[in-house]
C-alpha cells in the first residue's frame, strides 16, 4: 500500500510540474503583460516602440500557436508549497524531475542542462542538482516553476556589503544593470535579495521574481526609477523603460554583514503555479 501511495504522489506531482512548465514557457502572467503594455505606451521614439511591437507580436504568437515564448526555455527552478499533510520525502524530488522530463518532450523544451565541467547534456533538463527545488510550507499543495534563461542569469550578481554601506544598495542594483546593458533582453524585471547569508541572498532575489509586478513599494520604486534613468531601453536600443519593475525580498542577517543579490530576468518574466491533484 505504501508503494502504491508513493507512486501516486510521484505521478500527481510529475503531471502538475509538466503542466506548470508548459504554461510558464508559453503564457506570460497578466501583470507582466500589463507592465509591457504600459511601457510601450510611454515610449515616444520610433525605435523602442518598434521593439515593444515585436515583443507584443512575440507574446501573441506564442499564445496562438501554443509554443514557447523564447528558444531559451531556461533551466527549471521549482518551488513546492507543502501543506501539513504532505510529507517531505525523496518522492517530491523524483516527481518534479519526472515532470520536467515529460515537459522537455511534450512542450517541447530545449535541453539546456549540462554538466558544468564536461558540458555533457542530459537531454532531458535534469541532472545533479537540477531541477533546482525549493520547498516551502503552504496552505495548498502547489508547484511553481520559474524557467530561468542564461542571458539574464549570466549578468546577475551578489555583493557582500558592510552594514555601514546600506546606502550603496541602489548603486549595486543600478551597477548590475549598467554592466549588463542589452544582454539580458530588457526591459527587465530585477529581483533583489537583501540579507541572509552569502547563499540565501541570491535565493531571495530569485524568489522575488515571483511577486506581482503591478505594484512596488517606495523603496522598490526608487530602485526602479534609478535603473530607468540609465536609458538602456528595450533590447538595449534606448528608451524610457529599462526595468519593468524591481522586487525586493529581505531576510535577517549577521550584525557584521549586508549581502545584496540582484537576479536579472528578461522581459519574459515567466512563471506559473499549478495545484497538485493528490
Q: What is the pLDDT of residues 84-122, one digit of tens each?
A: 999 999 999 999 999 999 999 999 999 999 999 999 999
What band does 7 get if pLDDT is binned at 50, 70 and 90? low
Say if residue 144's pLDDT is above 80. Answer: yes
Please report the pLDDT score of residue 156 as a whole number: 98
Return the pLDDT at 1.
40
Average pLDDT in the chain: 96
Q: Please compute the mean of the pLDDT values over residues 140-165 and round it to a whole number.
A: 98
> Are 264 and 184 in contact, with CB atoms under 8 Å apart?
yes
DSSP secondary structure string for all residues of 13-50: HHHHHHHHHHHHHH---HHHHHHHHHHHHH--SHHHHH
Dump pLDDT digits (tens) for 54-88: 999 999 999 999 999 999 999 999 999 999 999 99
pTM exceeds 0.85 for this model: yes
Average pLDDT over residues 254-265: 98
Distance CA 133, CA 145 (A): 9
Cis previous bond, 54, omega within 30:
no
Question: Which residues neighbour 246 within 8 Å (Cβ) at sequence distance 6 or greater?
Answer: 173, 189, 190, 192, 216, 220, 221, 223, 224, 227
Look at residue 90 in the predicted model and tell me its pLDDT.
96
Write out the three cell numbers for 273.
503555479
| Range 127-131 average pLDDT | 96
The matching CATH number, chosen from 3.40.50, 3.30.300, 1.10.10, 3.30.1330, for 2-28+68-149+271-275 is 3.30.1330
133-141 mean pLDDT: 97
DSSP-derived secondary structure letter, 58 = H
pLDDT of residue 151: 96
pLDDT band at 4; cut points 50, 70, 90: low
User: Average pLDDT, stretch 181-200?
Assistant: 98
Q: What is the pLDDT of residues 13-44, one digit of tens each?
A: 999 999 999 999 999 999 999 999 999 999 99
Q: What is the percent of the chain where pLDDT is above 70?
A: 97
Arithmetic mean of pLDDT, 231-244: 98
Going from the C-alpha of 208 to that of each of 45, 190, 205, 227, 231, the distances in angstroms are: 31, 8, 5, 17, 24
Amino acid at each position: 500500500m505504501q508503494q502504491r501511495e508513493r507512486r501516486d504522489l510521484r505521478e500527481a506531482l510529475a503531471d502538475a510540474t509538466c503542466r506548470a512548465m508548459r504554461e510558464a514557457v508559453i503564457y506570460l502572467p497578466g501583470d507582466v503583460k500589463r507592465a509591457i503594455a504600459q511601457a510601450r505606451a510611454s515610449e515616444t521614439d520610433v525605435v523602442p516602440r518598434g521593439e515593444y511591437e515585436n515583443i507584443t507580436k512575440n507574446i501573441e504568437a506564442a499564445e496562438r500557436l501554443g509554443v514557447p515564448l523564447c528558444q531559451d526555455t531556461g533551466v527549471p527552478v521549482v518551488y513546492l508549497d507543502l501543506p501539513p499533510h504532505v510529507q517531505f520525502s525523496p518522492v517530491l524530488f523524483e516527481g518534479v524531475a519526472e515532470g520536467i522530463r515529460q515537459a522537455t518532450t511534450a512542450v517541447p523544451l530545449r535541453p539546456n542542462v549540462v554538466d558544468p565541467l564536461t558540458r555533457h547534456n542530459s537531454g532531458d533538463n535534469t541532472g545533479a542538482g537540477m531541477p533546482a527545488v525549493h520547498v516551502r510550507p503552504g496552505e495548498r499543495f502547489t508547484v511553481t516553476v520559474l524557467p530561468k534563461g542564461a542571458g539574464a542569469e549570466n549578468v546577475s550578481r551578489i555583493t557582500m556589503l558592510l552594514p555601514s554601506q546600506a546606502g550603496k544598495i541602489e548603486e549595486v542594483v543600478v551597477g548590475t544593470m549598467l554592466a549588463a546593458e542589452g544582454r539580458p533582453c530588457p526591459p527587465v524585471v530585477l529581483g533583489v535579495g537583501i540579507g541572509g547569508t552569502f547563499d540565501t541572498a541570491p535565493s531571495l532575489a530569485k524568489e522575488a521574481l515571483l511577486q506581482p509586478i503591478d505594484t512596488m513599494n517606495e523603496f522598490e520604486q526608487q530602485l526602479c526609477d534609478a535603473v530607468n534613468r540609465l536609458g538602456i531601453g528595450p533590447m538595449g536600443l534606448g528608451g524610457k523603460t529599462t526595468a519593468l519593475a524591481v522586487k525586493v525580498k529581505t531576510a535577517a542577517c549577521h550584525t557584521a554583514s549586508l549581502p545584496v543579490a540582484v537576479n536579472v530576468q528578461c522581459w519574459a518574466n515567466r512563471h506559473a503555479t499549478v495545484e497538485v491533484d493528490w
